[in-house]
A and B are shown apart, each in its own frame.
Chain A
Amino acid sequence: MFGWLVWRDLILAWRRRADVLATLFFFVIVVSLFPLGIGPERETLRTIAPGVVWVAALLASMLSLGRIFGNDYQDGTLEQLLLTRQPAYLVVLAKVLAHWIVAEVPLVVIAPVLGLQFGLSQNGLATVVVSLLLGTPVLSVIGSVGAALTLGLRAANVLVALLVLPLYIPVLIFGSGAVQASVTGSSPRAWLLLLGATLIVSLVFAPWATSAALRISVE
C-alpha cells in the first residue's frame, strides 16, 4: 500500500507538471536574483551563497506545502486514505516521500549549477548538495505538520508560513552552517551530523503529529 500511494502521487505530480515546475523556477529565480542585485564582487558572493541557497530552498519548500494534502482533501480522497487499516503514520510518510521526490529533489539537483553563479569551489558545491539532501526531507516532513494543520483554511499559505518557519530555522542554521564551513575551508562534518540527527528525529516524530492534525482537519 505504501508503494502504491507513493506511485500514485508521483503519477499525479507528473500529470500536473506545471505546478511542480513552478516551485523549481521559483528557486532558480530567487537564487539568481541575488548576484544580480548585489553585484559581482567574488568575495561577497561567496559569503552570501550558503545563506541564499538555503533560504531560497526554504521558501520554495514552503510554497509547495499546500500540495501535499490539498488536492486529496478537496476531492475526498484524503478521508478514504484515513479510513484504511494502514496506520495514518504510514500514509503520511508515503505522501511526504512522494512530495520530497517531486518538490525537493529537483532543487538538490539544480542547486550546484546555481552555486556556480556564486563562485563556489568544488567542496562548497558538494556540501551544498549533501546538506540539501539531508535537510530537504526535514523540510518536507516538518512542513507536512503545518500543511495538515491548515487544510481547508482561508489564508492557509500565510498560516503555514507562521507555523512552519520557526521549526525550519534549525535546519537553515545547520544547512547553511555546513556550506559556510566548507567555503571557509573547515570541515562541515559537525553541521552535517547535526542535520542528520534532525532528519532522524523529525522522521520519527513529525508524521505522528501530522496524522493527528489530519484527523482533526478531516472531521
Chain B
Amino acid sequence: MLEVINLTCVRGTRRLFKELSFSAESGELVELRGPNGSGKTSLLRILCGLATPAAGEVRWNETSIRSLGEEYFGSVVYLGHQNAVKDELTTIENLRISSAVSGYALDKKEAQEILKRVGLTQQQNLPARVLSAGQRRRLALTRLLTSKARLWFLDEVLTSLDNTAMNQSREFISQHLKNDGIAIVATHQDLDLIAPRFHRLQLS
C-alpha cells in the first residue's frame, strides 16, 4: 500500500500543492488530473523517489520511502515525459540493454516477443533515431512489460500514441491492476479503464 502524508511541493517560488494526502492499495488506479503546471509531474517524481518534497512523506508498505532507499526503486516503474531511448542504439538493443541494466536480462527471442506486442517488429534493427514520436513512446512502454514492479507511475503516457497503441496501453494497465499492481497516472484525458479500485485526484 502506498500512503502519501501531508505532501507539500515547492518549485522555485511557487507552491504547487500543500498538505496533500491520499493512499493507494493493490489494484487501485489513481488518475491525476489538473491543468499544465499544476504539479502532476512533480507529484509523480516525488512519489517515485526522484525528487524530495518540501514537507510530508511517502510510505510504501508502512515504511518511509526515504529510509527504504534503493529497495523501493525495485518496486517502481516510472515513465516520464522523456522516453529514455538512446538514439544510437537500435530498437531491439535499446530494449535489451535497458532491461538488462534494470536487472531483467532478455534474450533475443524474448525481446522480439515484446517488440511484437507493441508493434515494433519491423523497426527492431533500425536505430532509434529514425523512429517517430509514437514509435519511441511505444518503445518506452516496453519498460512496463519487462518490469515486475508493483508500482507504476505514468506521466501522460497516452500522448503521441495512435488509437491502437492507446488501447494497448489501457490493456497493459488493466492487466497490471488485475495482478494487484498499483498505477498512478497523470493524464489530460479520461483513461476509460475498468479497475478494481479507482480514485481521481484533481490538482489545481
Contacts and interface: CB of A to CB of B under 8 A. Distances in A.
Interface of A: 1, 4-5, 7-8, 11-12, 15-16, 75-77, 79-88, 215, 218-219
Interface residues of B, number: 31
Contacts of A76: 80-84
A5 B101 contact: yes
9 contacts: A8-B89, A11-B89, A75-B82, A80-B143, A83-B49, A84-B74, A85-B71, A86-B70, A86-B103
A202 B201 CA distance: 47
B17 interface: no
Contacts of B49: 83
**3 tightest A-B contacts by CB?**
A76-B82, A85-B74, A15-B88
Contacts of A11: 88-89, 93
A91 to B, nearest CB: 9
A83 B153 CA distance: 12
A88 B69 CA distance: 10
A154 to B, nearest CB: 16
B193 interface: no
Contacts, number: 77
B98 interface: yes
B51 interface: yes
Interface of B: 45, 48-52, 70-71, 73-74, 76, 78, 80-89, 93, 97-98, 100-103, 105, 143
Contacts of A16: 88
Contacts of B80: 76, 79
Given A4-B101, A75-B83, A85-B74, 6 more contacts: A77-B84, A77-B98, A80-B78, A83-B76, A84-B102, A85-B71
Contact of B78 (A1, A83, A215): A83
Given A11-B89, A83-B76, A84-B73, A75 B84 contact: yes
Contact of B103 (A1, A7, A8, A218): A1
A215 B48 CA distance: 13
Contacts of B82: 75-76, 79
Contacts of A12: 86, 88-89
A48 B97 CA distance: 46
Contact of B101 (A1, A79, A88): A1
A187 B97 CA distance: 47
Nearest to B153: A83
